[in-house]
Structure 1
């Protein structure tokens, strides 16, 4: 079996079982559920140069265009002309062949350099997925550093708290500077768009649908003072386009939203 060229260990990793798995195993005589043993799964990134890495080992030594072990080029050009890094990735999800891992490598390398942005990027990802509950949960969560899991604990620098205003107005530095509103428009999620307009714009509250307003009020999240803050409708991506500019191109669910001040001032 091939080994990781960085650490020389087998291309596998142990993962801890979910709590649900422990519950399914049943209780012991003491009344406590026995801990399920760790599960061994593949962890093999097979680059096109022939070298094998664990995912974390590759991240530690990552270079954009060259294998950090043999020095050969691992970059290629996609049919669309973009740079890509293809590999065969075998992990707990199974084997994926000719997978472009450049976006993942770029994001993980960025977050290792700027761990304080991990929470902001998670928020933006929820906007892209249209996950209203997750977004509301993050906005409600303004004080529980101790209860966060390890990844979330790394999302904030010592002494620095990521507040709701920063989450709402975050722009993706490795994703064409998109805001949450850009992401919602691209995902064609009107529910997310209304929520962001309620919380991070100066759109008159009388123009917010009553059900959106009432649900937010019930959950204890509401617009604060916005006069001295950037209106999310004014945010432009790296191409100089607002969320309304993007809506014009997409059309569809955004018919009736363009030109009336909902997405642009």
Structure 2
């Protein structure tokens, strides 16, 4: 049986489950409440060079187009002409053959260099998924963290402190994803709810343009627009192809029909 070439251990990992997840009554067989159980599952990334890694061991190596063990080129070209790194991945979810892991390797490599962007990238991913509730939770958590930091540091003069917070997260542009903003992502996700939220919090769009329901929902979640005049309007952000969110809306159509040219997605 192959072993991980990085740590020389079997290609498996032990994961823990709460017995409560498997028992609808919430009680273990002993009657003493939920207990933790463990399960051994595969954890095998087989690169096209033939080398096997644990997933975490491969990420720790932070090589993208070369195998960190044998040095062979593991990149190939897809039918669309894009670069890809194909592997056979066997894990808890089963075997996936010829899976392209280049996007994941690229992101992990970027986050190793810029770990401070991890939260902003998670925020952007929620925008791509149209997950309104998760976005609100992140913003509220960020407000709490900022308040705690302010109490600890007072009027902080520490370098970089001003770069941390909701404003930076709201206006984050993905450097390894065509410089898309959250508003670009919301348009692609066809999530008008997320777009309204981003426009409320990160644009100078006249408040009279917002439906009453947007204010009601924001108020119920405990969020509202602060001062935006001195900040970058999210509608002005352009992706790597020079396109604003409105440009994307014109292309994808869908729920954005009628938004083009209204000033909602552009300034």
The answer to whether the superposition gives a TM-score over 0.5 is yes
| Backbone CA RMSD of aligned residues | 2.2
Alpha-carbon displacement from aligned partner over 1:18-77 (angstroms, at most 9, x marks no partner): 484387562587x85353232211110001111100011111123222111111111100
Q: Secondary structure at the match of 1:38?
A: strand
Alpha-carbon displacement from aligned partner over 1:175-200 (angstroms, at most 9, x marks no partner): 11111000001111111111111111
Determine whether 1:113 maps to 2:113.
yes
Partner of 1:213: 215
* Candidates 215, 226, 229, aligned match of 2:228: 226
Partner of 1:257: 259
Alpha-carbon displacement from aligned partner over 1:145-194 (angstroms, at most 9, x marks no partner): 9xxxxxxxxxxxxx958421111111111111111000001111111111
Q: Relative to 1, partners in 2 of residues 1:230 and 1:8: Cα closer, same or farther, differing over 3 Å? A: same
Q: Relative to 1, partners in 2 of residues 1:34 and 1:245: Cα closer, same or farther, differing over 3 Å? A: closer
How many residues align? The count is 252
Answer yes or no: is the 8 Å Cα contact 2:246–2:266 preserved in 1. yes
Alpha-carbon displacement from aligned partner over 1:70-122 (angstroms, at most 9, x marks no partner): 11111100000011000000011110000000001111121222221111111
Partner of 1:26: 27
Determine whether 1:173 maps to 2:175.
yes
Q: Distance in 2 between matches of 1:182 and 1:106?
A: 21
TM-score, normalised with respect to structure 2: 0.88
Q: Relative to 1, partners in 2 of residues 1:243 and 1:18: Cα closer, same or farther, differing over 3 Å? A: farther
Stretches (4+) displaced over 6 A: none
Partner of 2:155: none
* Worse-superposed segment, 220-229 or 18-27: 18-27
* Candidates 192, 195, 201, aligned match of 1:193: 195
Answer yes or no: is the 8 Å Cα contact 1:22–1:34 preserved in 2. no
Q: Distance in 1 between matches of 2:65 and 2:29?
A: 53
Q: Secondary structure at the match of 1:16?
A: strand
- Give, in angstroms, the shift of residue 7 of structure 1: 0.5
Partner of 1:65: 65
Q: Secondary structure at the match of 2:46?
A: strand
Q: Distance in 2 between matches of 1:225 and 1:45?
A: 48
Partner of 1:154: none
